[in-house]
Chain A
Amino acid sequence: MTTAPVAQPRIRSRRRPARGLRKLLLGVVGLLGFLGTWQLLPLLGVVDEQFLPPATTVLGQLATEVQDLEFWRNVGRTMTTWFLGLLIATLAAVVIGTIIGLVPYLRRLTHTTVEFLRPIPSVALIPLAILMFGFQMPAALLIVVYASFWQVFVQVLYGVADVDTVARDTAKSFGLTRASRFRNLVLPTALPYIMTGVRLGAAVALILTVTAELLIAVPGIGRVIVFARGAGDVPTVYVYIVVAGLLGLIVNLIFRLIERRVLSWHQSVRGEAIV
C-alpha cells in the first residue's frame, strides 16, 4: 500500500538498538501484565475460579500435557487436516486461477459466479460435509478447502493479471514459447500474490480446521475442547485454547519466514499490504 511512508533516514537511527530493546522489554511487560491480570481475576474473586482458572493452573497443566503423547497426537491430527486442506486448496486455486486469470474471456464469464460463491461462509457447508463424509477427516477437509481456496484464488487472479504489458509484448515479439513465457514472466509476477494468498489461506484453514473439530467432532484439539467442556473440565478447555493460539502464531510466523525466503529477490518484501 502506498500510504506506508518511506522510512525517514533520521538521526534517531543511531539509537536503534536501544529502541528495539525498549520495544522488546515493553512487550514482555505487557505479556506479563496480561498473565498477572489473568492470575489475579480469579484469585480476587472478580470472576469465579470455576469459569476462569488462574493462569498458573492452566499453564501448569499445559506443562504436564506437553509430556503426554496423546497431546502431540491431537496437535498432529489438527495440523494434518490443516496442511492437507491448505495444500489441496492452494494447488486447485493456483491451477484454476492461472487458467481463468490468463484468459480474459473466462475471467469475465466466471466473475459473477465467483462473487456469489466466495462470500458463502464455509461453516454453512458443515451439515453438507457431515452428510457426505460422516464424522471423519474428509468432512473437515471439505470445509477447510472451501474456505482457503478463495483466499488463494483471488490473489492468483490479481497476480496473473498484474503482468506488465510491455514485458508481455516484449516476450511475445522475442518469440518466447507459451511455456517459457509462463515460467519466466507470469509465475514470477504472480508469486508474491500467491504467497500472500497462501499466508491468508493458512490462517483461515487453521480457523476452520478447529471449527470442524469443534462442530463435527473430527479428532483434533477442537474435539478435546468439546469433550473437556462436556466433562466440566474447564482448565483443559483453557489449555487447548492457549495451544490453538500458539499454533496460530506459529503458522503465521512460518509463513512470514517462507515469504521472506522465497521472495527475497522481490522488492515488495520490505512492507506489504494487508488485503
Chain B
Amino acid sequence: MSSMMTRSISVLRKPPGRSRSILSSIWFALGLPFLLLVVWGIWATISPQKFFPGPIAIIQAFIETWVGPAFFADVLPSLARLGVGIVVSIAVGIVAGTVIGLVRWLRELLEPTLEFFRAVPPPVLVPILMLIFGPGDATRVLVILAGAVWPVLLNTIEGVRSTDSIMTETARSYALTPVQRLRYLVLPSASPRIMAGVRQSLSVALILMVISEMFNNSSGLGYRITYFQTNYLIAEMWSGILLLGLMGVLLAVIFGFVERRVLRWYHGIKEVERA
C-alpha cells in the first residue's frame, strides 16, 4: 500500500513527455551497449590486441563465417539437437516427475538416488556416453537429456507434491476423475515450479550442446569455435562466441514468452497479493 503511494507521488512529480520518455527508454536500452562497443572499437584501433579484435572485425567475421553454407552445415544441426534435447528433457521430466510426485512410496524410494544424479556435474557423463554410444547425433541428444532432465524432474516432483491439500480434498469430494484432477489441479498448481526447472534446464542444455560438440572431432558450433581457436582465427572464434550468446538470448526470450503465457494466471495472483 505505502509503496504504491510513494510510487504514485514520484510519478506525479515528474510527468515525462511522450517523446522524451521514448527517447529516454531508447537511451536506457541501447546507451550502454553502444558506449561499450565504441570504447572497445577505439581501444582496438589504438592498441590492437592479439586476442581482442575490434567489434567491426568480429561482425565482418560473423557475416563471412555464419551467413551461408556454414549455417546449414553447423548451426542448424546444433540447433536441432538442442531443440530435440530440450523437448525430450521437458517431456520426460514432467511425465516422470508427475508420476513420482503423486505416488508417495515411489517418491521416498527414488528421492535420494535422484538427488545424487542431480548432483553429478553433467559434463562428466559426456566421455562415458560417447564411449558407450559412439559419437553420433543420438548420443549428443542423450548428453543434453542426461543433464537437462534433472531440474525439470525434481522441480516437477516438488511442485506436484506441494499441491494444496484442501484443494486436493475438494477435488476428491467433487468426484473429479484422476485425469481431470491432473489436468485442472495438479499440473497447473505445479507449473510455477516446473517453469523454474525448465529455466535451469535451458542453460544446462545449451552448455551441454557446446560441450558435446567440443569433445569429438566432428561438426557443430562447439567444434567450429574450438577449430577457430586452434587455428588462431581469432575474429572467427569471437564470432562463434557471439553466435552462442545470441542463441542464449534467443532461448531466454522464447522462454520468457512461453512462461508469460503458461503462468499468466500465476503472475496475476502475485500482482493482486502484492497490491
Q: Taking beta carbons and an 8 Å cutoff, which residues of A are in contact with B?
A: 1-5, 8, 22-23, 26-31, 33-34, 47, 51-52, 108-113, 115-128, 130-132, 165-166, 169, 206-207, 210-211, 214-215, 222, 225-226, 229, 234, 237-238, 240-241, 244-246, 248-249, 251-252, 273-275
Contacts and interface: CB of A to CB of B under 8 A. Distances in A.
Contacts of A125: 241
Interface string B114-148: 01111111111111100110000000000000000
A112 B127 CA distance: 37
B192 to A, nearest CB: 6
A229 B130 CA distance: 10
A33 B110 CA distance: 9
A112 B214 contact: no
Looking at B36, B109, B192, which has the most chain A CB atoms within 10 Å of its CB? Answer: B109
A241 B28 contact: no
22 contacts: A4-B162, A5-B162, A30-B111, A33-B109, A47-B132, A51-B131, A108-B28, A112-B32, A113-B32, A116-B249, A120-B244, A124-B245, A126-B214, A127-B228, A127-B229, A127-B241, A222-B124, A225-B127, A229-B128, A241-B120, A244-B120, A248-B120
Interface of A is mostly: helix
Interface stretch (B38-46, B172-180, B203-211): B203-211
Interface of B: 2-3, 6, 28-33, 36, 51, 105, 108-113, 115-128, 131-132, 155, 158-159, 162, 164-166, 189, 192-193, 196-197, 203, 206-207, 210-211, 214-215, 222, 225-226, 228-229, 234, 237-238, 240-241, 244-245, 248-249, 251-252, 270, 273
Nearest to A271: B162
A197 B29 CA distance: 26
A121 B249 CA distance: 10
B132 A214 contact: no
A113 B214 contact: no
A119 B249 contact: yes
Contacts of B240: 124, 127
A12 to B, nearest CB: 11
B108 A121 contact: no
Contact of B196 (A5, A165, A225, A275): A275
Contacts of B2: 165-166
Contacts of A166: 2-3
Contacts of A52: 132
A214 B240 CA distance: 21
Given A5-B165, A108-B28, A121 B207 contact: yes
Contacts of B225: 124, 127
B241 A249 contact: no
A210 B228 contact: no
Given A120-B248, A211-B211, A165 B121 contact: no
B231 to A, nearest CB: 11
A112 B29 contact: yes
Contacts of B28: 108-109, 111-112
A82 B198 CA distance: 25
B32 A210 contact: no
